[in-house]
Structure 1
Amino acid sequence: MSRWRSQLYKSEGLKKGIDPSILDNAIVTAEITLGSNPNLPPILTLRHLAHLTGIDYGFLRHVISRANENPYRVFRIGKRPAYNGELRFRTIAIPDPRLMVVQRWINRQILQQLTVHDASVAYSSGDRLVDAAKIHCGCNWLIKLDVRNFFESINEIAVYNVFLQAGYQPLISFELTRLCTRLGGVSPLRSTKRWTRNLDAPAIITSYINGRMGHLPQGAPTSPMLANLAVKKFDRVVTAIAKRIGVTYTRYADDLTFSTKDRAFTGTQSRKLIGEVYAALGAFGLSPNITKAQVSPPGGRKVVLGLIVSGDTPKLKRDFKSNMRRHLHYLSDPLYGPASHAREREFTSIVGMRNHIQGLITFANQIEPDYGAACQLAFDKVIWPF
């Protein structure tokens, strides 16, 4: 996208016969955004956003108004059963293709230009899982906590504040918020009105009024970065707690990780840390998933984001390598081969299986390059039936 230039904007507007005072007001609005962050694109109105994204204005207005038609395809996928055997599910909401275009534009042009807290190690440009795990390598104590329903816990108002603090005007911040959130199931919490209306405002867009509170949808390209930005203050608070107690803190989405190499650290300190972090979660409207809390003392297994961090560098887990060994063995076996292996492992297609295994090898190459190269060599020798 080309850089905003107020002179060019005004000259083009005058050519089209637009009132100079309207153009001057628009330039003032744009410069407020640019003054906050010169890398952000000024967005003057919803119609301007429609022009920037190439998506129909009427569709955007329809989404923002929370009309009856749901612009998301919603489905559930199974999660690991609870400790009591209860089945659990994760709700995924995939946006309409037109909304997906807008959200990708917002993520690329706006959200990726904003700065998250240093403790946040996922979803910003350049973030790598291996680097996030490396921070905790060689630790003696490892404490892992989890946030329950992370994306769904970030409501419209938190998202609105992200756009407002980025330098956008209140109305366009509200409209961007509605384009990045969805209405979940009806609940007392979500049905409580928390937007306040300024009765002195010159005009109210009545179609924008809705009694229910939206939240970030898991499945939208904007949700990861918006969640990171919305909990920036929470990250500051938890970083201060961690520093005071003497541990290192990182957050990978809903996974909170704390570690220390201090051999004098104690179980009492770990319990104090957990209590204070849980209190901070509650203060920010978040809740812990206490069943997923893990404390690994000296001598215990140290795993961060699926990688072993007991040594100086992250390593792949044993079960990852065992799984890879089975894949390569059966793919290369002339009596078995790709077709039989795909059926046995219940892949929907041989191509899908091949892409999946190639992805595993690419991941392995990032963590243990020599091992990854050996796997790639064996994989390249597989005879595929196409």
Structure 2
Amino acid sequence: RPSTHYKVYKIPKRSIGFRLIAQPTKKLKHIQKLIVDLLLNKVKVHKNATAYIKGKNISFNASIHKNSEYLLKLDLENFFNSIKPGMFFKELERQNIRLSNEDTAILEQFCFWNRSKRKNGALVLSVGAPSSPFISNVLMYTFDQELYEFCASKKIAYSRYADDMTFSTKEKNVLLSIHKHVDFLLIKYFSKNLRINDLKVVYSSKAHNRHVTGVTLTNDNEISIGRDKKRLISAMVYNFKNNSLGLDDTHTLQGLIGYAFSIEPDFIKRLQAKYGSTILEDINKNLLRT
């Protein structure tokens, strides 16, 4: 039974508790990728779904909201592990895709995880399978479309990055109706299988720091990595320039520079102006020599 061919381990969450990762075997992972390739051009994913999509990333997601005054962030609780095969098949029906019994059996066994390993144990998406992000985006298409249309009618920008939903507008108090409407749509399309994590509801405005998927929205309608990360990167570059940055930290710096360049390339240009145009090349060369 492929649905049991997973290595399971825990990683700590940023807040409290652990996240359960179920990693499929190499062979199963290969099959899951083939299934995604077969379905890719047959199914719909909403244009405002921004995670796991080629050409889209956290900065693209944040950019949708950079011209706003007011912000609301909602989080879907235990997202992947709440998605069951029947939910996915219903969405495929809504997209006019008909599956044979053999098709559904293959998708169930190869793309969903039997957490209990019992013969008739419940099947869910796993955090760790390469097919899970794709399936979750397809599943949310009709939900995303109806929510997008509702938001557009109220001049609200909407995006969803995996389980993180973000709403923004220039008009005060307009976002107050969103939470209730999202609850309504979740029940309409997924019964009570998907729900909002009420502990992670965040309302914000230009009067406060605003962050979307870890990216800072500035008050002059730009996206930024934020002051703290800029200070950290600047300090690390200074230490590198003075030969006092260790190898592990140099690897970290390389990743931070790539992250910063994807969000705020002007900051990297300012670093180059200060520390020399070859500073990035020097960091990469230093790592290649080790």
Q: TM-score, length-normalised on structure 2? A: 0.84
2:32 is matched with which residue? 103
2 CA distance for matches of 1:276 and 1:124? 26
2:6 to 61, 65, 72: 72
1 CA distance for matches of 2:230 and 2:161? 24
1:181 is matched with which residue? 112
Structure 2 residue 225 is matched with structure 1 residue 320:
no
Measured after TM superposition, the shift of residue 100 of structure 1 is 1.0
1:293 is matched with which residue? 201
Structure 2 SS opposite 1:287? coil
One-letter amino acid matched to 2:162: A
1:155 touches 1:216 (CA, 8 Å); kept in 2?
Answer: yes
Structure 2 SS opposite 1:381? helix
2:182 is matched with which residue? 277
Structure 2 SS opposite 1:217? coil
Measured after TM superposition, the shift of residue 221 of structure 1 is 0.8
Structure 2 residue 101 is matched with structure 1 residue 170:
yes
One-letter amino acid matched to 2:279: A
Q: Percent identity?
A: 27
Extract unaligned runs of 5+ from structure 2. Answer: none
Give CA deviations for 1:108-131 in whole Å, capped at 9, x if unaligned.
Answer: 332365321222122223223222
1:363 is matched with which residue? 259
2:73 to 137, 140, 144: 144
One-letter amino acid matched to 1:380: E
Structure 2 SS opposite 1:179? helix
2:148 to 239, 247, 252: 239
1 CA distance for matches of 2:10 and 2:20? 5
Structure-to-structure mapping, 1:116-131, within 5 angstroms: 116-131=45-60
2:215 touches 2:226 (CA, 8 Å); kept in 1?
Answer: yes
Give CA deviations for 1:67-109 in whole Å, capped at 9, x if unaligned.
Answer: xxx311111111133xxxxx41111111100011111222233
Measured after TM superposition, the shift of residue 161 of structure 1 is 4.0
Structure 2 SS opposite 1:337? coil
2 CA distance for matches of 1:139 and 1:256? 15
2:116 touches 2:122 (CA, 8 Å); kept in 1?
Answer: no
Gap change, CA 1:357 and 1:259, over 3 Å in 2:
same
Gap change, CA 1:358 and 1:109, over 3 Å in 2:
farther
Measured after TM superposition, the shift of residue 244 of structure 1 is 4.0
Extract unaligned runs of 5+ from structure 1. Answer: 1-61, 82-86, 192-209, 346-352
Gap change, CA 1:312 and 1:297, over 3 Å in 2:
closer
Measured after TM superposition, the shift of residue 185 of structure 1 is 4.6
2 CA distance for matches of 1:226 and 1:337? 42
Give CA deviations for 1:128-175 in whole Å, capped at 9, x if unaligned.
Answer: 322221111120111111111111111121233456654442312321
One-letter amino acid matched to 1:357: L
1 CA distance for matches of 2:267 and 2:183? 39
Structure 2 SS opposite 1:321? helix
Gap change, CA 1:173 and 1:91, over 3 Å in 2:
same
| Pairs aligned (count) | 276
1:111 touches 1:226 (CA, 8 Å); kept in 2?
Answer: no
1:182 touches 1:215 (CA, 8 Å); kept in 2?
Answer: yes
Single out whichever of 105-114 and 271-280 deviates more from structure 2: 105-114
1:142 touches 1:296 (CA, 8 Å); kept in 2?
Answer: yes
1 CA distance for matches of 2:229 and 2:278? 18
Q: TM-score, length-normalised on structure 1? A: 0.65
Structure 2 SS opposite 1:144? strand
2:91 touches 2:142 (CA, 8 Å); kept in 1?
Answer: no
Structure 1 SS opposite 2:246? helix
CA RMSD of aligned residues (A): 2.6
1:133 to 59, 62, 67: 62
Structure 1 SS opposite 2:123? coil
2:158 touches 2:168 (CA, 8 Å); kept in 1?
Answer: yes
1:44 is matched with which residue? none
